[in-house]
Amino acid sequence: MDGSGSPTLEQVAAVAGVSRATVSRVVNGSPKVLPETVAAVEQAIRQLGYVPNRAARALVTRRTDSVAIVVPEPDSRVFSDPFFAGMLSGVSRTLAPTSSQLVLLIEPAEGDDQRFMRYLRGGHVDGAIIISHHGRDNVLQELAQLPLPIVFSARPLGVDVPVASVDVDNVAGARTGVEHLLAIGRRKVATIAGPLDMTAGLDRLTGYKDVMKEAGLPALIEYGDFTADGGEQATLRLLDAHPDLDGLFVASDLMATAALRVLSERGRRVPSDVAVVGFDDSVLATMTTPKLTTVRQPVEQLGARLAEILLAKIGGANLTSPEIYNTELIIRDSA
Amino acid sequence: MDGSGSPTLEQVAAVAGVSRATVSRVVNGSPKVLPETVAAVEQAIRQLGYVPNRAARALVTRRTDSVAIVVPEPDSRVFSDPFFAGMLSGVSRTLAPTSSQLVLLIEPAEGDDQRFMRYLRGGHVDGAIIISHHGRDNVLQELAQLPLPIVFSARPLGVDVPVASVDVDNVAGARTGVEHLLAIGRRKVATIAGPLDMTAGLDRLTGYKDVMKEAGLPALIEYGDFTADGGEQATLRLLDAHPDLDGLFVASDLMATAALRVLSERGRRVPSDVAVVGFDDSVLATMTTPKLTTVRQPVEQLGARLAEILLAKIGGANLTSPEIYNTELIIRDSA
DNA sequence: TTGTACGCGTTATCAT
DNA sequence: ATGATAACGCGTACAA
C-alpha cells in the first residue's frame, strides 16, 4: 500500500501539470490530445503506478466491463464435466481481447436463486451467459426476462420467450451415432439417455427413438443422470433387461466410460459383443479401453460463439434466436 | 428495462417518504431505525424492485465484495484437470454465505501477465486466490508482492517472500504410494514424474526418490507434463528402458490412466505384471480398468481452506505461512 | 487542444 | 431516530 491508497486521476494530473480531464482523455485514448501532453501524462502514470478505478468508472459509464457466466444450479457435476471446461475455455479466449472480465456465478445451494438474480439485476455485469442443464422451476424463465443481455448455452427448456442460445443439433447427432450402430450390423441397440428435463437428455433420446422407429426396431431405454454412477446403474439395468443387446448408444461420454467398465466386468467384449457409441468427444473418449467412438460437439467453438453473441448483444444487437451447430461422428475402437 | 433504469436509493426514499440516508440504513441493517420506518422502506424497496448499485457502494466503501481466482497461465489443461474443478467447488461453497462474488481471471495467452496484474492492482477485488502450476518467470513473485490479500493454491516456486498457501504434503504422499508398491513386493519400481517447475512435480519426485534410496533400489524416472499424452509417452519410454519393471508410481491420476492404457496395449497385466499407483484420487480413479490405487488429496477441503484464509486476510488477519494437509492412500485394484 | 463543472449512487459525518 | 451534505474517482458536456 502506498501511503495514501492508490493514486487517482487527480494526482496524475498534478504530477503531469494538466487537468484531470486531460488525463482521463489520455487514459481512454482520445485522439484529441497533443502528443507531448500524452507523453507527459503517460510518464506521470508510470511514475505513480496509476491504474483506473473501475468502480468509479462503472458508476458514470454504466458499463462494468465484466460479464457473468451463470451456473444456476448447485450442481458440482457441472465442473467435473469436461464439457463445461471446454466452454469456459472458449468463452474466456473470446473475451480476452476485450476488456471484459469473467464473473462466475454459481448457485451455492438448491433454491438460492435470488442471490444471483439480484446480482444480475444490480447492474454489476454487462451481460450473462447461462450454463443451464435443467429446466428447473421457472429460474430459466426469470433469467430470460432479465433486462440484461443474456445468452443460453442450450435451448432453455420451459422458456416461452425468444432467447439467444447456442447448441448443437442433439437430435441429428444422436441419429448419426445410432445409425452407425445399425450400419455395422447391430440390431439390439439400447440407449442410456439423460434426464428429460435437459435438452441434451431429451433431444438425444429423440434422435435414438427416431432411428430405431424408422428401422422397425424396438427402443430399449434406460436413464442416467450424466454421471458415471448413473451410467453404471443404467448399464446394469440394461444388461438385466436385455442380456442379448449388441449395441449401446450413451448420451454422454462420462456415462459411456462407466458403461464400458460395467460391460467389461460383465464379460462383454467391446465392440465385438456390444458396440458402444458415446456423445461429446470429451477428453475421456481417448482415455478408455477401447477408445470411445463418439459424437463430437465443438465445445470450445460453442463457448466462443456464446461470448461473441453476448458481446454483440451488449453492443446493441438484437439477437434472440437459437444457433445450432453440427456434430461429427468420431469413429474409434468401441464401435 | 423500467423506463429510467434501475431505481436508486433516492427514489426509494421518495416513495417511502424518508431520506436517502434512512433507506441506506435499512438496506445495511442498521439497528437504529424505527421498526415502522423499516417496514415502510422495505415496502418501497419491494415495490420498486430496488437493488443496490455495487459500483457506487464500492466507490465509497472501498470494498468490492468480490474476490478473484487467478489462473496465471494460458493453460487450458487447468480446466480439464478435475483437481481444479474440485478446488473451485470448495472455494465457491465457502464463499457462498459471504456476499463475495467470484471473479475468474485467466491468462488468455502466454505473456499477457500485465492484464490481470492491472486488474488486481486496480482495486476491483478484495483479494485473490492464485492457482499456479508453474513457477514461471517472476509472475508469482509479482503476485506475491501485490498490495492485496493473496493466497496460493500451492507453495509457489521461486517466491522468496512469505506467502499464505494451502497444499498437501506431496513428499509424504508420494512416499506412501511408493512404499505401498514396495510393501506388496515390487522391486523394479519406476515413476512418471511431473515437470520440475511445479511443486507437485518436484515434491512427488522427491518422495519417490527418498523411498527408493532408503530401500537401496535404483530410481527409474521418466517425466510427463500432467497430461494424458505426456503420460502415454513417458510410459512408452519407461517400458523401453526397463521392460522388466513391476511397479509404477505416477504423479497424477490423469497420467496414470494413460499409463494403464499403454500397459494394457503392451500386454502387461495390472496389477499382476505391473502394479500402478496414481496421485489425486480424482474422478478418473474409479473410471479405469482396473480401478486405480492412488494417493488422495482432499481437493474440496483445500479449496474451502483457500477461501477461508483469503477471507481472514481480507478481514485483517496476517497469515503468511503455508498450510499443509495430509494425503491418504486409497487402495483399489491397480496395486 | 485543454480546463471547468456537474453528476453517477452510495456511505458516512454531523447536525438536529 | 432521522435528515442534510460532503466525499468517493471518474467521464463528459460545455466553455474557453
Q: What was the pLDDT predicted at A3?
A: 35
CB B9 within 8 A of CB B25: no
Separation of alpha carbons B108 and A263, rounded Å? 41
Minimum-distance CB partner of B59 among A52, A55, A92 = A55
**Residue B28, number of CB atoms within 10 A of its CB:** 9
Å from the B127 CA to the C6 C1': 33
Minimum-distance CB partner of B82 among A80, A95, A112 = A80
Q: Is the CB of A286 under 7 A from strand D?
A: no
Residues 21-40 of B with CB under 7 A from strand D: 21-22, 25, 32-34, 36-37
Q: Which sign, positive or negative, has the C-alpha torsion A264, A270, A275, A276?
A: positive
Residue whose entry in the numeric block shows the C-alpha cell 441419429: A175
> Looking at the domain A66-168+300-326, which fold is it?
Rossmann fold (3.40.50)
Domain ranges of chain B: 9-52, 66-168+300-326, 170-296
Q: What was the pLDDT predicted at B273?
A: 97
Å from the A315 CA to the C2 C1': 31
Q: Is the CB of A20 under 7 A from strand D?
A: yes
Q: What was the pLDDT predicted at A2?
A: 36
Question: Residues at the strand C interface (CB under 7 A)?
Answer: A 17-22, 25, 32-34, 36-37, 56, 59-60; B 5, 8-10, 20-21, 24, 27-28, 50, 52-53, 56-57, 59-61
Average pLDDT in chain A: 89
| Regions in chain A scoring below 50 on pLDDT | 1-4
Q: What was the pLDDT predicted at B325?
A: 97
The chain B residue lying nearest A99, using CA atoms, is B115
Q: What was the pLDDT predicted at B57?
A: 86
- Using a CB-CB distance cutoff of 8 angstroms, which residues of chain B are in contact with residue A101? 103-105, 119, 124
Å from the A153 CA to the C7 C1': 38
Q: B128: which residues sit within 8 A by CB, 6+ positions away?
A: B67, B68, B69, B70, B105, B120, B143, B146, B148, B149, B150, B151, B310
Q: Residue A288 has which C-alpha cell?
A: 478408455
Q: What was the pLDDT predicted at A1?
A: 35
CATH assignment, A9-52: 1.10.260.40
User: How far off is chain B from A218, nearest CA to CA, in Å?
Assistant: 30
pTM for this one?
A: 0.86
In CATH terms, are A66-168+300-326 and A170-296 the same topology? Answer: yes
CATH architecture of B170-296: 3-Layer(aba) Sandwich (3.40)
Q: What was the pLDDT predicted at B183?
A: 98
Task: Say if the Cβ atoms of B79 and A86 lie within 8 Å.
Answer: yes
Q: What was the pLDDT predicted at B76?
A: 66
| Regions in chain B scoring below 50 on pLDDT | 1-4
CB A327 within 8 A of CB A296: yes
Which residue places its CA closest to the C1' of nucleotide C11? B60
